[in-house]
Homo-oligomer: A and B are copies of this chain.
Amino acid sequence: MRQSKIFSKTTKTMPADIKLASHKFLYKAGFIRESAAGRYYFLPIGIRVREKIAKIVEEEMNRAGAIKIITPVLHPLDLWKETNRTQSVGFELMIVKDRNNSEFALGGTAEEMMVDLVRKFSLSYRDLPFNIYQFSQKFRDEMRARGGLLRVREFMMKDAYSFHADEDDFKKEYQNMWEAYKNIFNRLGLATVVVEADNGYIGGEYCHEFVVESDAGESRFLISADGAYAAHEDVAQFEKKCMNLEEKLTDLKEVDAQRGNTMEDGVDFHQLPLWQQIKDVLFVNEKGEFILAIIRGDFDVNKTKLKNLTKSVDLRHATDEEIRGLGSEPGFISPVGIDKKVIVVADDSLRTIKNAYGGANKKNKDLLNINIDRDYQPNLEGDIAMAQDGFLSEGGSRLQESKGIEVGNIFQLGYHYSSKMNAKFTDADGKEKFYYMGCYGIGIDRTLATIAEKYHDDKGIIWPESVAPFKIHLIGIGNQESGAWDKAEELYKILEQAGMEVLFDDRRDITAGEKFADADLIGCPYRLVVSEKTLAKNSVEVKKRNEDKAELVEIGEVIKYITHST
């Protein structure tokens, strides 16, 4: 492609709100432009990278036996009602009406569409298993878009859905997809950590995220030092050591307490350990119910775990007014004697301590020697604690905190969708049974940004060859009479005829310095320069984007040189 013909040029300036390296270089080099916030154009060089990523994903999906199809963009909302997802997806779902008043969802994922398609066919166990996938534009009505392509409102996703006769068969495909994903990300130059994760609104019982470690990411996860365990913070489990279970229960006692709202106030005032204090956090769910989360003082509540345990869609902190309305007091909330309408949810860490202390539901009054079962009875108990760096995994290995970008995920769905949508096959025994399902997603655009995030220097992107917009950036410099231009033109044709992808900087009104800067910014693997100086030696200067040294290569040898270079 001739650079002179690309209207979407490189630029030195950019909007002030661009922070991340990937966003900066994708913008400046002219890979993408924003339309509305979180909705991007892919420009001539950007769409090439996107399509190369998609092609690798497609090849590996095909190799793994999946079959491509495509669904409409608009999903009949009635299908989403069958699975109650119009509720659980909440505000992220965009809905549109047609002139006949039919309602449609702009899909964020396509479970309902795929199940609805499959149930149109009468299938038997002989037709199973199969895995169908598509590449299509997905929509998420995010409150805030950020980070260029990292969190957007519209993006291309590869989403796959597998249908099985039973769980055993599904598990094979889950492993198959796990391996396919490893292959895909390897080919894309991305090292991924596979972490257990929360299902979110997808449903099912378990899932794994493929995460590329990066400070630019939003996925906080914990990984054990021995590498045996990795989990997103929203599901990460850790050992909650027993503290003082050998103690005798002593009598509950109300005492005066001079302190503020922090846990440290309590520690200082009572001169007791933090872990012995009960931390109380009052939430209100989407139905207006009060949920009191209680936990050992040295731990924090993880809101997603709390949501899952309480089957809530949305949780917000209660206001001071609401707390007082329940006859309690901000900073002094307690499960002991709290209004019966409050749902008390205890972290299981409260089984590791005795004679705890905490608020008394009155201003400036605390309770000492609070004991579970005796003094309060939780409505729900479970793990609602946030894992932290340095905690121990249940295998005893130290957990390390890390951050990364989620580029893919695989989900067990089980019977979640097939049972709600009554999608059945005929089994060998002649009985109709629900499909056992899984689903598997890769965000193509976010993956593109992640590659740029991992592969750049201060001058621009350094694309891995597998996804580079062009393999070669060919540059002609020098004055018009030198013959270098003609030679560059000639070389351009030769390279293209050899089937190489070449970006040819044929612009005559641009300085050599600007051309070099553009080449670094755009980041093709090989930079070839034809100038008077190189021509004098019948050569071309070849420089790899990821190396400093440049070499002179005889013109006739260039194709061989690049083909055999690694």
Contact = CB atoms under 8 A, between A and B. Distances in A.
A65 interface: yes
A41 B69 contact: yes
User: How many chain copies does the complex carry?
Assistant: 2
B35 A113 contact: yes
A6 B72 contact: no
Interface in A153-168: 153-154, 163
Given A4-B126, A7-B67, A35-B113, 12 more contacts: A5-B130, A9-B121, A35-B76, A36-B104, A41-B70, A44-B132, A47-B68, A73-B139, A74-B153, A94-B96, A126-B509, A137-B137
Nearest to A156: B70
A123 B9 CA distance: 9
A74 B154 contact: yes
A501 interface: no
A380 interface: no
A115 to B, nearest CB: 12
A366 B36 CA distance: 62
A36 B102 CA distance: 9
Interface string A120-140: 110100110010100001010
Contacts of A272: none
A194 to B, nearest CB: 27
Given A7-B121, A47-B68, A72-B39, A106 B96 contact: yes
A99 B41 contact: no
Interface in A453-497: none
Interface of A: 1, 4-9, 33, 35-36, 39-44, 46-47, 50, 65, 67-76, 91, 94-100, 102, 104, 106, 113, 116-118, 120-121, 123, 126-127, 130, 132, 137, 139, 141, 143, 153-154, 163, 509
A312 to B, nearest CB: 20
Nearest to A91: B99
A229 to B, nearest CB: 36
B72 A121 contact: no
A132 B8 CA distance: 11
A1 B68 CA distance: 11
Contacts of A47: 68-70
Contact of A72 (B4, B41, B130): B41
Given A69-B43, A70-B41, A96-B106, A120 B33 contact: yes
Contacts of A100: 143
Contacts of A106: 74, 96
A73 B154 CA distance: 8
A6 to B, nearest CB: 7
A68 to B, nearest CB: 6
B121 A8 contact: yes
A145 to B, nearest CB: 10
Contacts of A509: 126
Contact of A74 (B36, B44, B126): B36
A163 B153 CA distance: 29
Contacts of A5: 65, 67, 130
16 contacts: A7-B118, A7-B130, A9-B121, A33-B117, A35-B76, A35-B113, A41-B72, A42-B70, A44-B67, A44-B69, A47-B70, A50-B70, A74-B139, A91-B99, A96-B96, A126-B509
A141 to B, nearest CB: 5
B137 A67 contact: no
Contacts of A43: 69
Contacts of A44: 67-69, 132
A74 B99 CA distance: 18
Ranked nearest first, the 7 interchain pairs of A and B with the lowest CB-CB distance are A39-B72, A96-B96, A42-B70, A44-B67, A36-B76, A7-B130, A35-B72
A67 B43 CA distance: 9
A14 to B, nearest CB: 12
A139 to B, nearest CB: 8
A143 B99 CA distance: 7
Contacts of A126: 4, 509
B143 A7 contact: no
